[in-house]
Structure 1
Amino acid sequence: MRLWFSSSSEVPIYRQLATQVELAILSGDLKPGDRLPSTRELARRFALHPNTISAGYRQLERDGWTENRHGSGVYVRANADAPSTPEQILDQHIAGFFRVVRELNLPAAAVRARVARWLEAPPPDHLLLIDPDPEMRRILLHEIRQATAFPVAEASFEDCKDRRILAGAIPLCRPSKTAQVRALLPPGVELTTLAIRSAQSWLTPWMPAPKGHLLAVVSHWPEFLEIARTMLIAAGIPADVLIFRNARQPRWTRGLEQATAILCDSYTASVPSLPRRPHLILFPLLADSSKAELARYSVADTPLL
């Protein structure tokens, strides 16, 4: 994993480190069980104080992304190995089903009748994006609808208290919300976690950034602006050549015509009021793997859950 740090940024170095590692985990650049570079190694490589690196690693551990193994190092928090093929996934669910059935001591005839009822139920007829942030939902909905013609709806955490909204739905969420969304779903409802694009991998081809150019970052999602600020400054782009605009605020287009390029999310890029004169640099949130998975859904061929 490639890292960037800028000592002249208003974003503390430890936060630059924590943000970049978190994004690498969410995008799959770092896998569960991967060992992070040692504090001493990072301090020496980037001429930073070891306490700064330790502060970043402590933040990651507090946020639940990593674990400190005494005498061994810092590791991405590992979960049980996920099944990798459709057959393995099916076997995992079947095994879990029979394990629960044995604990219930139900008669075999009752089990067969219940399974038959589930198999005869209508298949799902739409995707349902569940997220607490309305601006994030708007961006992801825009990208999902570009990836598939299958109907897609949205819901907040509050909306999910009404179980009727889950009828006929295939629930979707972003990685950082998986645990919260899973807790909202009834037992037995499968949840699809959308893979998020790696910011580091996407940014690398653009580095080093040409000097003497003004870069504007525009989004309706405040967190997009904060992540972009951290990543761009850490990558060595001077803060005085960056313009940040929240597209939900009045007069957000002011000064954008002076920029050489505008970096934005896919939804903001579709807004008619966004100036078209500077070069648009689009950062899609969904990873290609998620787009490929979504593309498999169609109205004529719905998946069986």
Structure 2
Amino acid sequence: MVQFHIQTDSEIPASTQLYNQILFAIASRQFPPGHRLPSTRQLAMQTGLHRNTISKVYRQLEEAGVVDAQAGSGIYVRDQTQDSNAKSTSPLLEQNPEAYKIVQTSLDELLRQGCSLNQARELFLAEIDWRLRCSAQVLVTVPAHDLGNGEVLMRELKHALNIPVQLVPLEELGKILDQTRSGTVVTSRYFIAQAEEIAGPKSVRVIPVDIYDFDEEIKIIKQLPKGTCLGIVSLSSGTLGVAEVIIHSLRGDDLLVMTAQLGDNYKMGAIVRSAQTIMSDQASCAAVKAAIAAAREDLIRPPQLICCENFIVTKSINLLKRELGLE
């Protein structure tokens, strides 16, 4: 069972802390599509928050398109993939009846020539995927206030897909899609509702990716001795904020947590000199290693560096490859 913890002495409002923790649980598939969220009573007992505050957080999640409230039943994680498919197919059939007839005629002709339905499907998909691969562009989008999150996504997708990937602030996505409507928009499940609202009317598909659940790193954090100074370094300020809340929920005040965003050399140096263990994303790993090497003469014992392997789960990468015809 996912445990939520509210840091009462934090400058971050309690409702925001809970909202971010639930979003992380959904984005990392700890709460998969169809999962029933805890009742307001259960969360109130776990976090100490008033049930009205928890109800407000659930309303915000519903407004963001992340969950559905079912009267008399509870709050459930929405299946964004099914929503996306429903939006992209049904209106298309209604608006293009003649095109649909052409598809039917072409399929009938392939069947007459001896193709099976599966073979015909593969022929259609191969042609469609090839054209998408040649003409489409991949746009990674996140809100402007945390472009570091998008930078991490973009770097991993470039490496995994081996095609050009462009980072676009969510606030500018509509303008970019007005200039070119071919392509695929990729974003974290955190921001799927906002991206769909912009891209849907322009007939551009949006594919959500699931972020890594950091299960191995969480196991390590649980086993760290009390009093350990733990450093967290990331390209994304949003990731750092969520990491602080989650670590505090796991260990409370047992650990001293220090964070630094890639590029903040002062904080990075402080972490290298104080922390016994440092965790970083792949984008920041080389910089942390360099900082440790630079400070080696001042260190009695260099900190243990743990570089997280991926930010995006392999299943999402494979799905994206299939969608773009790269397999």
TM-score (ref. length: structure 2): 0.69
What is the aligned partner in structure 1 of residue 122 from structure 2? none
What is the aligned partner in structure 1 of residue 56 from structure 2? 58
1:97 is the counterpart of 2:92 = yes
Report the CA distance between 1:13 and its aligned residue.
5.3
Distance 1:207 1:222 in 2: 23
Q: 2:209 aligns with which of 194, 203, 213?
A: 194
**Shift in CA distance, 101/237, structure 1 to aligned 2, threshold 3 Å:** same
Distance 1:77 1:155 in 2: 25
Q: Which amino acid aligns with 1:129?
A: L
What is the aligned partner in structure 2 of residue 147 from structure 1? 160
Report the CA distance between 1:286 and its aligned residue.
0.9
**Shift in CA distance, 279/184, structure 1 to aligned 2, threshold 3 Å:** same
Q: 1:288 aligns with which of 300, 307, 314?
A: 314
Equivalenced residue count is 287
Distance 1:163 1:278 in 2: 46
Q: Is the contact made by 2:233 and 2:259 (CA closer than 8 Å) also made in structure 1? A: yes
What is the aligned partner in structure 2 of residue 24 from structure 1? 25
Alignment of 1:1-305 (within 5 A): 1-5=1-5, 9-10=9-10, 14-44=15-45, 46=46, 49=48, 51-64=49-62, 65-77=66-78, 81=82, 96-102=91-97, 122-125=131-134, 127-131=137-141, 132-133=143-144, 134-157=147-170, 158=172, 161-163=175-177, 166=180, 169-182=183-196, 183-184=198-199, 187-199=202-214, 203-204=218-219, 206-238=221-253, 241-256=256-271, 257-271=273-287, 273-275=290-292, 277-283=302-308, 284-294=310-320, 302=326
Deviations 1:104-159 (A, max 9, x none): x89968x99xxxxx969943336523324332222112222332323323333426
Report the CA distance between 1:200 and its aligned residue.
6.4
More helix by share: 2
Deviates more, 1:133-142 or 1:14-23: 14-23
The higher relative CO (CA closer than 8 Å, separation ≥ 6) is in 1
Identity of aligned residues (%): 19
**Shift in CA distance, 53/22, structure 1 to aligned 2, threshold 3 Å:** farther
Q: Which consecutive residues of structure 1, in runs of 5 or more, have no partner in the other structure?
A: 84-88, 113-117
Deviations 1:248-300 (A, max 9, x none): 335232222321111222211233644364222234321221233355589xx
Q: Which consecutive residues of structure 2, in runs of 5 or more, have no partner in the other structure?
A: 106-126, 294-301
Distance 2:160 2:40 in 1: 41
SS at match of 1:216: strand
SS at match of 1:238: coil
Q: Is the contact made by 1:124 and 1:169 (CA closer than 8 Å) also made in structure 2? A: no
TM-score (ref. length: structure 1): 0.73
**Shift in CA distance, 173/293, structure 1 to aligned 2, threshold 3 Å:** same
Deviates more, 1:204-213 or 1:135-144: 204-213
SS at match of 1:252: helix
The alignment's C-alpha RMSD in Å is 4.1
Deviations 1:31-52 (A, max 9, x none): 34432223333445x4x54x53
Q: Which amino acid aligns with 1:235?
A: L
Q: Which amino acid aligns with 2:280?
A: C
